[in-house]
Amino acid sequence: MPGSSRKFVLGIAGILLAGGLIGWVYDHAVWGLLVVALIILVWQTRQLLSFNRAVHTRDFAQFRYGEGIWQQMFSRYNYEHERALRAKQEYRRLLKEIRRSTDAMPDGAVILDEDNQIVMCNKAAKHLGGLKRKKDRGQRVDNILRDPKLTELLRSNAFAREIEIPSPVKDEAWLNCRVVPYGANQKLLFLRDITERIRLTRMRRDFVANASHELRSPLTVIGGYLESLSEDPGLEKDWGQPIRRMQQQARRMNSVVSELLELSRLESAGPASKDEAVDVRGLLSAARKSCAGQEDVAEIEVVSETNAQLLAAGNEIESVISNLLSNAVRHTPADGHITLAWSVDKKGAEIVVTDTGEGIPAEQIPRLTERFFRVQRGRARDDGGVGLGLAIVKHVLSRHDAELSVTSDLGKGSEFHCRFPAERIVLEPPVPIVSGGKCG
Ligand code: ADP
């Protein structure tokens, strides 16, 4: 028991004893005790009430606390009260500091609760997304930034993903959105102005599309004249070889122009429709057959245990398969093996092209889908590749909400996985099919 409490108890006991003794002297010990107890009770009750009043009014001028337990309680209360006040002031100062620093950020930051309702946002969120700090508090953020992609991002909890949405505030402006989880089910939504980047990308895309378009007609004319010249019986013998080389280069330029135009088209096209159900297994078998008759081609096998269909643009999926297969064929020796697989699982479906060819150095894998990237320029030029095939594959896949992933072992072979989401798969009863054989 603390000293002050002991003193208080002893004091009360002493007063009671004194009251009892005085009563005993007058032959009324019990009355003496009762009267003193009543006086103590009244006094302590009065103290308690006036302390309670002082606590509520924060005015201790009228409160007589003396030197005993009440003084102890009073100073303890005072100390705690001051401490809480200081902590509150510090908390307010910190909050102001945090608000000032987040307001200085060029990116919008929005704190969301577990139901994606706005808890707080900074100034940039107001300029970029039109969010109002006080008015929009408690509103679902996707009721203000209305875009299905954002709703999906918040719903899916796919925090590694970033999306681009048009700004609800400014025409022609674009925002990049990213969600970062923190605490207990809370999230931070970051908004970044990417209008300039989008503008430059569009400019580059338009430039490439226009330049490719302009090159097409002269190339057709050059190709036409070269063909006529090569068929001219009166042509001097010495011209045969140069004309064949010119024709080869014109064809190569033609394919570069066509692939660049195809890339521009894919870049500006929105998501692929889900109207067409594509028989992927059929496309894989057709791709395998198309190698028939070619010399020095590895054995190609189609492995598929499902006849599930893909809701996609059929011609684009065909081009994905043909790009991946032609790469595999070019980089796999004739005694190697190529597998074209189509499989379905709970999360979606996959087209996998596997080869036992030369493989790709690990550090170059992330760059494979860059335009004009070739692992070995000299070799690729000899192969007739221009480094646009995988860029086209990547764009087609992204139009189909799908992703490309590559694994490779140098000298052992490569695997190209095209993963499609379950929403694009139509399941049919499984029919195990394994067909294979040497091309040709
Ligand atoms: P290209 O038209 O030159 O083949 P791609 O974009 O299709 O261009 O491929 C880029 C580069 O990736 C190629 O030049 C090649 O070096 C490498 N590559 C692609 N597929 C394979 C593969 N299956 N095995 C080894 N290297 C590959």
Q: What are phi and psi of 274, to 5 degrees?
A: -110, 20
The verdict on the CB of residue 355 being under 6 Å from ligand 1 is yes
Distance CA 312, CA 176 (A): 27
Residue nearest to atom 8 of ligand 1 (CA): 387
Query: Which overall architecture, per CATH, does domain 197-268 show?
Result: Orthogonal Bundle (1.10)
Which regions of the chain are under pLDDT 50? 377-381, 430, 439-440
Query: How many Å apart are CA 437 and CA 372, to the nearest integer?
Result: 33
CB 19 within 8 A of CB 32: yes
Asked whether 300 and 436 are in contact (CB, 8 A), the reply is: yes
In short, whether 399's Cβ falls inside 6 Å of ligand 1 is: no
- How far is it, in rounded angstroms, from Cα 265 to Cα 280? 23
Closest CA to 116 of 71, 74, 38, 177: 177
User: Which one of 258, 358, 375 would you pick to mutate in the ligand 1 pocket, going by the greatest count of ligand atoms within 8 A of its CB?
Assistant: 375
What are the sequence ranges of the domains in the chain?
3-94, 105-193, 197-268, 277-426
Asked whether 257 lines ligand 1 (CB < 6 A), one says no
Q: What is the pLDDT of residues 196-229, one digit of tens each?
A: 999 998 899 899 999 999 999 999 999 999 999 9
Q: Would you mind telling me the total number of residues written for the chain in this entry?
A: 440
Q: Are strands 277-278 and 299-304 parallel, antiparallel or unpaired?
A: unpaired
Q: SS3 of 30, please?
A: helix
DSSP β-ladder status, 108-112 and 186-193: antiparallel
Q: How confident is the model at residue 383, as a pLDDT?
A: 62
Cβ–Cβ under 8 Å, residues 336 and 358: no
* Whole-angstrom distance, CA of residue 412 vs CA of residue 234: 51
Whole-structure pTM value = 0.67
| Atom 20 in ligand 1: residue holding the nearest Cα | 327
Does 328 contact ligand 1 (Cβ within 6 A)?
A: yes
336 lines ligand 1 (CB under 6 A): no
- Residue 29: C-alpha distances to residues 10, 11, 244, 266, 409 (Å): 20, 19, 135, 106, 104
On whether the CB atoms of residues 180 and 172 are closer than 8 A, the answer is no
- DSSP string spanning 375-434? SSHHHHHHHT--S-HHHHHHHHHHHTT-EEEEEEETTTEEEEEEEEEGGGEE------EE
Instruction: Please enumerate in sequence order all residues whose Cβ is within 8 A of that of 439, keeping only pairs 6 or more positions apart, or say none.
Output: 288, 291, 292, 293, 294, 297, 298, 299, 300
Is 327's C-beta closer than 6 angstroms to any atom of ligand 1?
yes
- 264 is written with which tokens? 């521009």
> What is the per-residue pLDDT for 380?
45
Tracing tokens 């054989």 back to the chain, one arrives at 437
CA 225, 230, 231, 233: dihedral to nearest 10 degrees?
A: 120
Cα 90 from chain centroid? Answer: 36
CB atoms within 10 A of CB 69: 19
Q: Is 395 in the pocket of ligand 1 (CB under 6 A)?
A: no
Q: What is the CA radius of gyration of the chain?
A: 40
- Contact indicator for 254, 219 with CB cutoff of 8 Å: yes
User: Who contacts 98 (Cβ-Cβ below 8 Å, separation ≥6)?
Assistant: none
Nearest C-alpha neighbor of 412 from the set 353, 364, 361: 361
Residue nearest to atom 19 of ligand 1 (CA): 327
Identify the pLDDT of residue 377: 44
Atom of ligand 1 nearest to the CA of 375: 16
In which element (H, E) is residue 232 found? none
The CATH T-level fold of domain 105-193 is Beta-Lactamase (3.30.450)
Task: State the architecture of 277-426 in CATH terms.
Answer: 2-Layer Sandwich (3.30)
Question: What is the per-residue pLDDT for 374?
Answer: 87
Task: Look at residue 69 in the predicted model and tell me its pLDDT.
Answer: 82
